[in-house]
Chain A
Amino acid sequence: KQEVTQIPAALSVPEGENLVLNCSFTDSAIYNLQWFRQDPGKGLTSLLLIQSSQREQTSGRLNASLDKSSGRSTLYIAASQPGDSATYLCAVRQDGQNFVFGPGTRLSVLP
């Protein structure tokens, strides 16, 4: 059974810092991995989707990498801003299967 973990559970940084969020999964036979952002009281917004054949994806200040063999993905946020404060979740999909979510990392960026 696929299990997804995220470290750290919570993170607080001053504005302007670069930061890395981690996602680990136990079964490396994944189809893709998706990073989401969740704001309080709101649904999940897709940030980046990495296919199993890809090593990384970039969108603006966000960069997600994938190392299937080690069962890890990282989300790098450059020059963090207070508006980046949210919970970040990763989810993996195995071919033909549904998505399995991690518990999330709660990020606070202090002005």
Chain B
Amino acid sequence: DADVTQTPRNRITKTGKRIMLECSQTKGHDRMYWYRQDPGLGLRLIYYSFDVKDINKGEISDGYSVSRQAQAKFSLSLESAIPNQTALYFCATSGQPSYNEQFFGPGTRLTVL
């Protein structure tokens, strides 16, 4: 089984709809991250969480919110989706002892019409 899973894998929605993307991990890591990937721009950090009670904004948090329901679960919400939020979304984790590496989920392809 995959260590980092994301649901759904693909989603098509309409402008103005509320969308939630979910991420679960079995690696026992305390840090979790949400990124979006756009062609030619690489991955950009949306939000990150160092533990259940610690949530931080990343580079491009406007229009997004997150919830860390448990150490293993980190959800990303788009309260009112807009077309320029069409992108590939990745969840990642890192953990002890040194947080040197990040481990990624398979991604969610989101299309906002």
A residues contacting B by CB (< 8 A) are 4, 9, 31-32, 34, 36, 41-46, 49, 51, 89, 91, 93, 98-99, 101-104
Contact = CB atoms under 8 A, between A and B. Distances in A.
The 8 closest A-B CB pairs, nearest first, are A43-B104, A103-B42, A101-B43, A44-B104, A101-B42, A43-B106, A43-B107, A43-B105
A103 B41 CA distance: 5
A46 B90 contact: no
Interface string B78-108: 0000000000001010000000111111110
B90 A98 contact: no
Contact of B100 (A42, A49, A101): A49
Q: How large is the interface on B (under 10, 10 to 19, 20 to 34, 35 or more residues)?
A: 20 to 34
A98 B58 contact: yes
Interface of B: 4, 33, 35, 40-45, 48, 58, 90, 92, 100-107, 109
A43 B101 contact: no
Given A42-B106, A98-B48, A89 B43 contact: yes
Contacts of B109: 41
A41 B109 CA distance: 8
Contacts, number: 50
A46 to B, nearest CB: 6
B37 to A, nearest CB: 9
Interface SS majority for chain B: strand
A8 to B, nearest CB: 13
A41 B43 contact: no
Nearest to A34: B101
Contacts of B107: 41-43
A79 to B, nearest CB: 26
A18 B22 CA distance: 40
Contacts of A99: 45, 102
Contacts of B42: 4, 89, 101-104
Contacts of B101: 34, 46, 49
Contacts of B90: 43-44
